[in-house]
Structure 1
Amino acid sequence: MVKTIIGGIAVGIANVIPGVSGGTMMVILGIFNRVMDAISGIFKRHNPDRMKDILFLFQVLVGAAIGLVGFAKIIQFLFNHYPTQTYYWFIGLVAFSIPVFMKAECKGEKISWLPLMIGAAIVFVIKFLAPDAGSGNVNPAFPDITLMHCLIMILCGAVAGGTMLLPGVSGSMVLLIFGQYHLFKSYLASVTTFQLDVLISLFFMGIGILLGIVISAKLTGYFLKKYHRGTLSVILGLIIASSIVLIPLDVTYSFSTIVTCGGSLLFGGFLVYLLEKIA
């Protein structure tokens, strides 16, 4: 149980970071297939392990909630003080997860190059459409609670929940495209204030997250069963491209910056190694 909750925390942390995928973190931890099977199992008519599946998903979701809320302020601090090094840490996490994914999911199966390029193109298009992901110090004012606002929160939650299961696709990056990422992050960072407008917004966002997880799991499970090789190739393309688009291009690289960024990248790879061993 503890390992599952820790895995959920890692997934939650990944979903706060623009460009880093919660699904990729599931692959690193070796729980991607288990999560997909558990979600499918809940909706099967005859499933003697339904309660086990529900308990497993509950543990993952509890961990994810802890990671989302607990890391929101930390990510803000890191981006404000060490933005470039933080990005290279994320790059290390994503890039070093590629061989983990190929070993755990592909298992010697040949890659289809066209689906791989399609997956990579999706990430590049998302990056092109997204505003600057590095402006993590933006703190927008909380809007009034209206019906439209609640519907927007459900939509944001559905995006975050749906992309949580897709390796290589960053829910935070997609929220940046919708112009909702900084509001999402601010709500998470302020949840401990117990403000009513914050709690109401997060409640509706939680509804969206659950909807997104179920819909994404159904679609991903279908394509993995019907088009296994092609779907894995698309996912691999998503992961590879994600490690590329995270590279900061508007930074002056001094010697000290290069050294610290290199260390951060290797630290990300070391964490992947540790997480794989734990898994």
Structure 2
Amino acid sequence: MRDGEEAALNRPARAVGWALHVLQGALIGLGAVLPGISGGVLCVVFGIYKPVMELLSNPLRNWRTHLPRLLPVILGAAIGFLGVANLLAFFLEAYPDQSVCLFVGLIGGMLPSLFREAGEQGRTKGSYVAMAAAFALVLGLLTGLDALSVTIAPSFGWYLFCGFCVALSIIAPGMSFSTLLMPLGLYTPFVEGLGHLDLSVLLPGGLGGLVTIICLAKAVDTLFTRFYSCAFHAIIGIVIAATLVIIPFGSFATALVPNLVCMAAGVVIALALDQFNSRFEKE
């Protein structure tokens, strides 16, 4: 009877936890589409990057243990990535700076927990060197890409490349696929194709993403297994660099209050999610 009562009491907590993971997945999917945001970064800040990589790198061995936990996240990511693409296009057109500021606040609010997780196996001088090197490399790369102004015509081959960039933004946190596609003029047609479920976009994009995951996921997972501290601190450097690049500093002169409100809202949401995650994991 006592076991039954405990199970009954745990059901609401489990339901809330499941809903939370769906929400996290939706944010990851949304972040994968939002310009300048990396879905992999949000996987990291929500504490699910490692199990995601373990599942992707060895699905036959890990699906029984990892899939039940990640299923609500996968469902939410599908909703966020495909279901809100058209809605995202509207908000990005109507409130581009405020949308980005909300995600900047979200990532900034999760940095303390990210740094805490990176030090779970200790820190060395190499950890800080890796963080600084990754920060400088990604900041230089993203700044350079932003300075480019090359436009190309979308095609099957280029949508394969779009799928590669999407997968790369998941398995390599900080590498936002939109940051790579916008300078080439591919971001808008790709997102519009996703929003309208256009098979001429979905099929090559999905194929490119699948091939990328098969080829790179295991290598990235091995890197974290052998060099956890250095790799994780490098991610922190990537996250900070990618976040700095997308902050719309130019709009603060005319929209200071809305931008700060959205950024503060993102921080509050991130801290609340982190506290709930910690309490739910302990329970």
| Structure 1 residue 2: Cα displacement | 4.8
Partner of 1:33: 50
- Evaluate the alpha carbon distance shift between residue 162 and residue 57 of structure 1 in structure 2; reply closer, same or farther with a 3 A threshold: farther
Does the 8 Å CA contact 1:117/1:237 hold for their aligned counterparts? Answer: yes
Please give the residue correspondences for 1:49-64 in structure 2 after superposition, counting only pairs within 5 Å.
50-54=63-67, 59-64=72-77
Q: Tell me which of 95, 115, 118 is aligned to 1:82.
A: 95
2-structure distance, mates of 1:106, 1:179: 39
Does the 8 Å CA contact 1:124/1:241 hold for their aligned counterparts? Answer: yes
Partner of 2:12: none
Does the 8 Å CA contact 1:130/1:176 hold for their aligned counterparts? Answer: no
> Which structure carries more helix by proportion?
2
Moved over 6 A (4+): none
Partner of 2:33: 16
Partner of 2:6: none
Does the 8 Å CA contact 2:190/2:201 hold for their aligned counterparts? Answer: no
Partner of 1:146: none
Partner of 1:91: 104
State which drifts further: 79-88 or 94-103.
79-88
Does the 8 Å CA contact 1:116/1:237 hold for their aligned counterparts? Answer: yes
Please give the residue correspondences for 1:1-279 in structure 2 after superposition, counting only pairs within 5 Å.
2-43=19-60, 47=61, 50-54=63-67, 59-107=72-120, 109-110=122-123, 112-131=127-146, 149-191=155-197, 198-251=198-251, 253-254=253-254, 257-279=255-277
- Evaluate the alpha carbon distance shift between residue 72 and residue 124 of structure 1 in structure 2; reply closer, same or farther with a 3 A threshold: same
- Evaluate the alpha carbon distance shift between residue 132 and residue 250 of structure 1 in structure 2; reply closer, same or farther with a 3 A threshold: farther
Residue identity in the other structure for 1:81: A
2-structure distance, mates of 1:121, 1:177: 21
Does the 8 Å CA contact 1:24/1:97 hold for their aligned counterparts? Answer: no
Q: Which runs of 5+ in 1 are unaligned?
A: 134-139, 144-148, 192-197
Q: Which runs of 5+ in 2 are unaligned?
A: 1-17, 278-283
Q: Cα RMSD (Å) of the superposition?
A: 2.8
Larger-gyration structure (1/2): 2
Structure 2-normalised TM-score? 0.79
2-structure distance, mates of 1:153, 1:61: 22
Residue deviations 1:17-63, cap 9 Å, x none?
122111121123221121122223325xxx3x544445656654443
- Evaluate the alpha carbon distance shift between residue 247 and residue 38 of structure 1 in structure 2; reply closer, same or farther with a 3 A threshold: same
Does the 8 Å CA contact 1:26/1:32 hold for their aligned counterparts? Answer: yes
- Evaluate the alpha carbon distance shift between residue 217 and residue 60 of structure 1 in structure 2; reply closer, same or farther with a 3 A threshold: farther
2-structure distance, mates of 1:238, 1:270: 22
2-structure distance, mates of 1:181, 1:106: 36
2-structure distance, mates of 1:251, 1:7: 28
